[in-house]
Amino acid sequence: MNSVVSDETLHAFVDGELDVSESEKLIAQMRDEKELAQRVCGIRSLQSMVRLAYAEPPVASGRKRHAASGRVVMQRCAFGCLVLLAGLSGGWALRGLESNAVVAAPSTFPGGYQTVSLGRVADPNRVMLHLDSADPGRMEAALDRAEQLLDEADRQGRTIQLEVVTNSHGINLMRAGVSPHAARIARMTQRHANLHLVACSQTIARFTGQGQKVELLPAAKVAPTAIGEIVTRLQQGWTYVRV
């Protein structure tokens, strides 16, 4: 009976190398021939013993690590260089997108503001304005720009999503008791439900660490990081405008 099924076939069966019909035939045969079942069982137990034997191979002692350390340092340097290169080329690529987008939608964003979007054409209906400075002129410009975009969309009957993202000193725009435009922001958010204000929580943590108490205007929400928020929105197809 043993000679009927070769060892090779049984191994192939155990290793899942047989096709379905061959396997089924063998399983049926195993029901009748206990010896065959025993052989399969033997192969399986050998296999599990081999797996057990190498489940936790002994770790090399420290002596060889030193020999490799020079190489490891070189490799890390090489990796660092690659990351740098990726960053630089990423920046270069984004620069291209930026100019493309400006060319693509010059009419939507008048006033010399540069826009960035990952799409071929900047989406005028999903826009984030990024403010990272407490310069009064830029704060005002951010709100002017927001109002202008919202009103324009209203006039044209478009639904626009607008997000003002602030970090660094730009967060002052959204701080209760600090913002010079609290009343205007309250008015704007009341008029436009599609206006969102987002502050960077890392900036808040930094300010708090410096002993400043940071309280945001009721309309403002918090994002883990401003950069993360911007990148996520860009990936979702939003258009980025730095004020």
Residues at the interface with other proteins (CB under 8 A):
7-8, 11-12, 15-17, 34, 38, 41-43, 45-54, 57-61, 63-65, 67-68, 71, 75, 79, 86, 89
In angstroms, the CA 79 to CA 56 distance is 30
In angstroms, the CA 35 to CA 39 distance is 6
Nearest distance from residue 92's CB to other proteins, in Å?
11
Burial 6-31, CB ≥16 within 10 A → b, else e = eeeebebbbeeebeeeeeeebeeebe
Q: Which is nearer to other proteins, 58 or 209 (CB)?
A: 58
Q: Tell me the HSE value of 50 on the side-chain side, using a 13 A CA sphere.
A: 6
Nearest distance from residue 80's CB to other proteins, in Å?
11
Nearest distance from residue 111's CB to other proteins, in Å?
34
Q: Which is nearer to other proteins, 89 or 232 (CB)?
A: 89
- DSSP letter (8 states) at residue 163: E
Backbone angles phi, psi at 95, to 5 degrees: -55, -40
Q: Which is nearer to other proteins, 11 or 196 (CB)?
A: 11
| Residue pair 149/162 in contact by the 8 Å Cβ criterion | yes
Nearest distance from residue 86's CB to other proteins, in Å?
6
Sign of CA dihedral 46, 48, 51, 56: negative
CA dihedral of 175, 180, 183, 188, whole degrees rounded to 10: -80
Q: Which is nearer to other proteins, 37 or 222 (CB)?
A: 37
R_g of the chain, CA atoms, integer Å: 32
Q: Which is nearer to other proteins, 17 or 24 (CB)?
A: 17
Nearest distance from residue 218's CB to other proteins, in Å?
42
Nearest distance from residue 30's CB to other proteins, in Å?
12
Nearest distance from residue 24's CB to other proteins, in Å?
20
Q: Which is nearer to other proteins, 90 or 224 (CB)?
A: 90
Q: Which is nearer to other proteins, 11 or 242 (CB)?
A: 11
Q: Which two tokens stand for residue 189?
A: 């958010």
Sign of CA dihedral 64, 70, 74, 76: positive
